[in-house]
């Protein structure tokens, strides 16, 4: 067991500087977790086999962290699916519809649904690309400790001779992320019940020998009301006041802790985790908060969200500054390392200057050593010299804001005349089902089994059939179907300068879904057209307009690891310039409608309201820079995959797209009123059916949705489309659904 400094020993010579991480990737070096869980789902692995795979992954992680030299090692960061789901099951927050199931069946049914039982809703974890399962609570919820997972994992580590710090989702964050079917019931009302369960758990952990527990409260990095801060105080006064408990580390991350710090400082929690990467103001907060001199600060100075090496001298000086302010400083990562890939050493084609999880652990250890031995023990990282493209930068400077198109109302008249579409034009969001044949052709090209010409022939054949199908169905604006795209960001990243791809850089997105985000490391430029060939080919197969299809600048950043040596806004402008050229090339090649998808516009929104305006200003400017280079007769579309716009609703019109398609099927077209109230006057395509399930919507049902829509929107502004791309669907349901959609549009037109 590693020696630990006492929490209040203060500033004596640092002989045993503590070091830790808030969490670690759990998927395994080669996605062993995904393989095991999917094998279990497919019946190829039994429950015992799955448990064994979990045990091995955990053992590997703990041993690795111990061998790397961390003094404090987290446990219970493992999960078969998601830590929020684990918490719900642990505290008995299981909705009634799962009552007939138990064990792993119930666990996975909550994650993915089972025959006739809908799963929990899934949504993004703060501003990351990790998705968690949303707890469902209500007045009937009775919390009860029904799973001893944190104890069991602690026990497993202890048997291996590794003392660990169990990690739990904090009670406040849990309830703030929970939702209730009854909007009048605020989940926070369940706080006292939940605290009883946490108290019982903490007591049991203490009895088992646990000396410290980490309670994750990332919700404290967002704006919190006075009432929520009161709940925070109540929670940690209660837990801090327990007589038999481990030490409590309340870990915040993803931003500044703000008003929550004095609240926590006034409780008996021993340690507070602060993110000094996303929250540079946290240092001043510690300095100005009475009571912090008696607390331990777990200093998140190594970035857990991005893939660049840490500037060690700067991190060290933050920690040194904290030494004078806090009772103890523990060196740590800014958040769990689950948001970065495992090991950069395995990569052969990435730029210099990167650190993945393993390298970041080594950085934490190095800073810890320097705290004992002096700054000479760390060497500054060689600054990453991002490739600079002088010509591109000069063009961008000369372009300024871009060029103005005519006002939308004027453009709409020109476009109506030139496109000659019927009222309520029908279209789709871009992708058609990705068939096995399409995936095989891509894999064969990568594996060298077919050449470029063979691959292109396969894609052209697919485009032929997608175009013929759309004509037969009777859609008005066609798409090429995106068969050549594995992923809407990766496809463009592979073709742009300034982006690199990893071979093994997997990160968990949700459950068993892992992604390999590209790395944007230098100036972005477009060596040659990226989509024009496919679009032109598709247009050559039909007399109806084919819509060109691109991924917008914000989404290109949001789903990548992005350089940090210049503001995001600057990087967004570079991506926008490349897209602007692509859009002009599409226009010059005869494509009259171009869609620029921005599904990530909302998720990059800063967690605190104070940052919203500045973010929206650059995000909107980047979109406009990309899309304003075309003539007034070229119609620009955009697409977003959600209907709850919240704080960004005002920005939708500012994008100045001619048509926006959104998700609306699940919210009963209410959003059209919201958009109108926000002053949106352009074309709108509210998704008329939900593509997230294989169910085929009836014509009547779509007709009803459209009738609701024409009440809220003038028919000349209304478009008819599904609510997202079709690539995850099968052809049978896609064809049937689109036929019903076209039939419904014709009925409503005839009125
Ligand atoms: N054009 C993309 C598609 O249809 C849009 C995907 C998305 O919105 N996430 O697949
Ligand atoms: Zn979508």
383-404 pLDDT per residue, tens:
778 889 999 999 999 998 877 8
Ligand 2 centroid–CA 606 distance in Å is 21
Residue 600 CB less than 6 A away from ligand 1: no
Q: Which pLDDT does position 15 carry in this prediction?
A: 56
> What is the CB neighbour count within 10 angstroms for residue 48?
8
Residue with token string 């849990």: 174
Ligand 2 centroid–CA 595 distance in Å is 12
> What is the CB neighbour count within 10 angstroms for residue 225?
10
Ligand 1 centroid–CA 108 distance in Å is 27
Ligand 2 centroid–CA 639 distance in Å is 6
pLDDT exceeds 70 at position 5 = no
d(C-alpha 445, C-alpha 440), whole Å: 8
Q: What is the mean pLDDT of residues 91-100?
A: 96
What is the secondary structure of 277-290 as a DSSP string?
TT-TTHHHHHHHST
Residue 194 CB less than 6 A away from ligand 1: no
Residue 724 CB less than 6 A away from ligand 1: yes
- In the chain, the percentage of residues whose pLDDT exceeds 70 is 98
- pLDDT band at 643; cut points 50, 70, 90: confident
For residue 595, which atom of ligand 1 is closest to its CA? 1
Q: Whose CA is nearest to atom 1 of ligand 1?
A: 430
Q: Which pLDDT does position 12 carry in this prediction?
A: 43
d(C-alpha 538, C-alpha 540), whole Å: 5
What is the layout of strands, in order, in the sheet containing 164-169?
Answer: 73-75, 164-169, 212-216, 247-251, 271-275, 296-302, 328-333
Q: Contact, 360 vs 328, CB < 8 A?
A: no
d(C-alpha 431, C-alpha 550), whole Å: 11
- pLDDT band at 8; cut points 50, 70, 90: very low
Q: What is the mean pLDDT of residues 136-163?
A: 97
- pLDDT band at 16; cut points 50, 70, 90: confident
Please return the burial class of 547, using the count of CB atoms within 10 Å of its CB with bins 0-12, 13-18 and 19+: buried
Q: Please choose from 431, 477, 513 the residue to mutate so as to test ligand 1's pocket, defined by most ligand atoms within 8 A of CB.
A: 431
* φ, ψ for residue 628, nearest 5 deg: -95, 10
Ligand 2 centroid–CA 598 distance in Å is 9
Ligand 2 centroid–CA 219 distance in Å is 27
What is the layout of strands, in order, in the sheet containing 497-500?
Answer: 497-500, 519-525, 561-562
- pLDDT band at 266; cut points 50, 70, 90: very high
Q: Please choose from 559, 639, 642 the residue to mutate so as to test ligand 1's pocket, defined by most ligand atoms within 8 A of CB.
A: 639
d(C-alpha 595, C-alpha 194), whole Å: 47
Q: Whose CA is nearest to atom 6 of ligand 1?
A: 725
**Helix 103-112, helix 47-68: angle, nearest 10:** 80
Q: What is the mean pLDDT of residues 261-289?
A: 98
pLDDT exceeds 70 at position 71 = yes
Q: Contact, 293 vs 267, CB < 8 A?
A: no
- pLDDT band at 666; cut points 50, 70, 90: low
Please name which of 673, 681, 613 lies closest in space to residue 647, comparing C-alpha atoms.
Answer: 613
Please name which of 268, 270, 269, 155 lies closest in space to residue 205, comparing C-alpha atoms.
Answer: 155
d(C-alpha 731, C-alpha 441), whole Å: 18
Residue 641 CB less than 6 A away from ligand 1: yes
List, as own/partner pairs, every contact residues 691-695 make where C-beta atoms lie below 8 angstroms and the sequence separation is at least 24, other chains included. Answer: 691/722, 691/723, 691/724, 691/725, 691/726, 691/728, 691/729, 691/737, 692/724, 694/729, 694/730, 694/733, 695/733
Q: Contact, 518 vs 488, CB < 8 A?
A: no
d(C-alpha 557, C-alpha 245), whole Å: 43
Query: Any idea which residues carry the catalytic annotation?
Result: 692
Annotated binding-site residues read 31-34, 124, 129, 429-431, 482, 513-514, 559, 597, 603, 639, 641, 654, 663, 724
d(C-alpha 751, C-alpha 747), whole Å: 7
Residue 278 CB less than 6 A away from ligand 1: no
Residue 488 CB less than 6 A away from ligand 1: yes
Nearest ligand, measured from the Cα of 488: 1
Q: Whose CA is nearest to atom 9 of ligand 1?
A: 599
For residue 549, which atom of ligand 1 is closest to its CA? 1
**pLDDT tens readout for residues 178-187:** 999 888 999 9
Q: Which pLDDT does position 343 carry in this prediction?
A: 98
Q: Whose CA is nearest to atom 5 of ligand 1?
A: 725
Nearest ligand, measured from the Cα of 597: 1
Q: Contact, 84 vs 187, CB < 8 A?
A: no
- pLDDT band at 150; cut points 50, 70, 90: very high
- pLDDT band at 381; cut points 50, 70, 90: confident
Annotated binding-site residues for Zn(2+) read 639, 641, 654, 663, 724
**pLDDT tens readout for residues 283-327:** 999 999 999 999 999 999 999 999 999 999 999 999 999 999 999
Q: Please choose from 725, 726, 734 the residue to mutate so as to test ligand 1's pocket, defined by most ligand atoms within 8 A of CB.
A: 725
Q: Contact, 371 vs 319, CB < 8 A?
A: yes
For residue 431, which atom of ligand 1 is closest to its CA? 4
Domains of the chain with CATH codes: 32-377 (3.20.20.210), 415-749 (3.20.20.210)
Please return the burial class of 475, using the count of CB atoms within 10 Å of its CB with bins 0-12, 13-18 and 19+: buried
**pLDDT tens readout for residues 481-505:** 999 998 999 999 999 999 999 999 9
Residue 663 CB less than 6 A away from ligand 1: no
Mean pLDDT, the chain, rounded, equals 95
Q: Contact, 287 vs 250, CB < 8 A?
A: no
Ligand 2 centroid–CA 600 distance in Å is 10
Annotated binding-site residues for 5-methyltetrahydropteroyltri-L-glutamate read 31-34, 124, 129, 513-514, 559, 603
Tell me how far CA of residue 613 lies from CA of 350, 400, 596, 599, 650, in angstroms: 35, 20, 22, 19, 11
Residue 597 CB less than 6 A away from ligand 1: yes
Q: What is the mean pLDDT of residues 663-674?
A: 81
Backbone CA torsion sign across 679, 683, 686, 688: positive
- Cα–Cα–Cα angle for 247, 248, 253, nearest 5°? 145
Q: What is the mean pLDDT of residues 81-106?
A: 97
> What is the CB neighbour count within 10 angstroms for residue 322?
23
d(C-alpha 219, C-alpha 127), whole Å: 11
- In which element (H, E) is residue 329 found? strand 328-333
Q: The pTM is what?
A: 0.94
d(C-alpha 327, C-alpha 220), whole Å: 22
For residue 428, which atom of ligand 1 is closest to its CA? 4
Residue 549 CB less than 6 A away from ligand 1: yes
Helix (H, G, I), strand (E, B) or coil at 274: strand
* Helices of type H across 147-225: 149-159, 171-177, 191-207
Please name which of 488, 468, 495 lies closest in space to residue 480, comparing C-alpha atoms.
Answer: 468
d(C-alpha 653, C-alpha 621), whole Å: 12
Ligand 1 centroid–CA 240 distance in Å is 48
DSSP letter, residue 735: H
d(C-alpha 34, C-alpha 37), whole Å: 5
For residue 724, which atom of ligand 1 is closest to its CA? 8
* Helices of type H across 541-669: 553-558, 568-588, 612-627, 649-654
Q: Which pLDDT does position 3 carry in this prediction?
A: 37
Q: Please choose from 124, 129, 427, 429 the residue to mutate so as to test ligand 1's pocket, defined by most ligand atoms within 8 A of CB.
A: 429
Tell me how far CA of residue 711 lies from CA of 704, 706, 748, in angstroms: 11, 9, 12
Q: Which two tokens stand for residue 220?
A: 């404290």
């Amino acid at each position: 067991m590693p020696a630990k400094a006492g929490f209040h020993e203060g500033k004596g010579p640092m002989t045993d500087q503590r070091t830790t991480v808030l969490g670690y990737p759990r998927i395994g070096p080669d996605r062993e977790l995904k393989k095991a869980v999917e094998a279990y789902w497919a019946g190829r692995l039994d429950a015992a086999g799955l448990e064994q795979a979990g045990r091995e992954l955990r053992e590997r992680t703990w041993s690795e962290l111990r061998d790397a030299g961390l003094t404090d090692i987290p446990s219970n960061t493992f999960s078969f699916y998601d830590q929020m789901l684990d918490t719900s099951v642990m505290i008995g927050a299981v909705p009634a519809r799962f009552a007939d199931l138990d064990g792993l069946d119930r666990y996975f049914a909550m994650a993915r649904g089972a025959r006739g039982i809908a799963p929990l809703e899934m949504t993004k974890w703060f501003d990351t690309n990790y998705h968690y399962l949303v707890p469902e609570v209500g007045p009937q919820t009775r919390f009860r400790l029904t799973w001893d997972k944190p104890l069991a994992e602690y026990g497993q580590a202890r048997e291996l001779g590794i003392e660990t710090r169990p990690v739990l989702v904090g009670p406040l964050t849990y309830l703030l992320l929970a939702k209730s079917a009854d909007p009048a019931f605020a989940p926070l009302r369940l706080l006292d019940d939940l605290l009883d369960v946490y108290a019982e758990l903490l007591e049991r952990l203490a009895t088992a020998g646990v000396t410290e527990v980490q309670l994750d409260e990332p919700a404290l990095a967002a704006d919190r009301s006075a009432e929520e801060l009161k709940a925070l105080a109540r929670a940690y006064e209660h837990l801090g006041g327990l007589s038999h408990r481990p030490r409590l580390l309340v870990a915040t991350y993803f931003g500044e802790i703000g008003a929550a710090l004095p609240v926590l400082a006034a409780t008996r929690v021993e340690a507070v985790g602060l993110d000094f990467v996303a929250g540079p103001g946290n240092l001043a907060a510690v300095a100005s908060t009475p009571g912090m001199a008696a607390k331990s600060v777990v200093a998140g100075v190594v970035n857990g969200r991005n893939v660049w090496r840490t500037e060690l001298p700067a991190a060290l000086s933050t920690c040194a500054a904290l030494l004078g302010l806090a009772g103890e400083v523990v060196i740590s990562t800014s958040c769990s390392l689950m948001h970065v890939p495992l090991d950069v050493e395995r990569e052969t084609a990435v730029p210099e200057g990167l650190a993945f999880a393993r390298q970041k652990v080594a950085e934490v250890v190095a800073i810890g050593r320097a705290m004992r031995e002096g700054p000479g023990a760390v060497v500054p990282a060689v600054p990453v010299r991002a490739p600079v493209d002088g010509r591109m930068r000069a063009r961008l400077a000369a372009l300024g804001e871009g060029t103005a198109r005519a006002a939308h109302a004027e453009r709409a008249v020109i476009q109506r005349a030139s496109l000659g579409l019927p009222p309520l034009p029908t279209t789709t969001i871009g992708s058609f089902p990705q068939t096995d044949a399409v995936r095989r052709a891509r894999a064969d090209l990568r594996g060298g089994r077919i050449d470029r010409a063979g691959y292109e022939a396969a894609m052209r054949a697919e485009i032929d059939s997608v175009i013929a199908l759309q004509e037969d169905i009777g859609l008005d604006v066609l798409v090429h179907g995106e068969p050549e795209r594995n992923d809407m960001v990766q496809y463009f990243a592979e073709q742009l300068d300034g982006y690199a791809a990893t071979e093994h850089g997997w990160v968990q997105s949700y459950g068993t879904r892992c992604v390999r985000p590209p790395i944007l490391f230098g100036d972005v430029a477009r060596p040659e057209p990226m989509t024009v060939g496919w679009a032109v080919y598709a247009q050559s197969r039909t007399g109806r307009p084919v819509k060109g299809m691109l991924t917008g600048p914000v989404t290109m950043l949001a789903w990548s690891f992005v350089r940090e040596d210049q503001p995001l806004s600057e990087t967004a402008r570079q991506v926008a310039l490349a897209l602007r050229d692509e859009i002009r090339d599409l226009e010059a090649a005869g494509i009259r409608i171009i869609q620029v998808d921005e599904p990530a516009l909302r998720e990059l929104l800063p967690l605190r309201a104070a940052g919203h305006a500045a973010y929206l200003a650059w995000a909107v400017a980047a979109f406009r820079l990309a899309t304003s280079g075309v003539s007034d007769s070229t119609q620009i579309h955009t697409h977003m995959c959600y209907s709850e716009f919240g704080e960004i609703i005002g920005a939708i019109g500012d994008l100045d797209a001619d048509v926006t398609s959104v998700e609306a099927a699940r919210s009963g077209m209410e959003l059209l009123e919201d958009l109108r109230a926000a002053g949106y006057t352009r074309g709108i395509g509210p998704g008329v059916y939900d593509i997230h399930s294989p169910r085929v919507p009836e014509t009547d049902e779509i007709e009803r949705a459209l009738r609701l829509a024409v009440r809220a929107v003038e028919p000349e502004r209304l478009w008819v489309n599904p609510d997202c791309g079709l690539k995850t669907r099968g052809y049978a349901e896609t064809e049937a659904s689109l036929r019903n959609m076209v039939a419904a549009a014709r009925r409503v037109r005839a009125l």
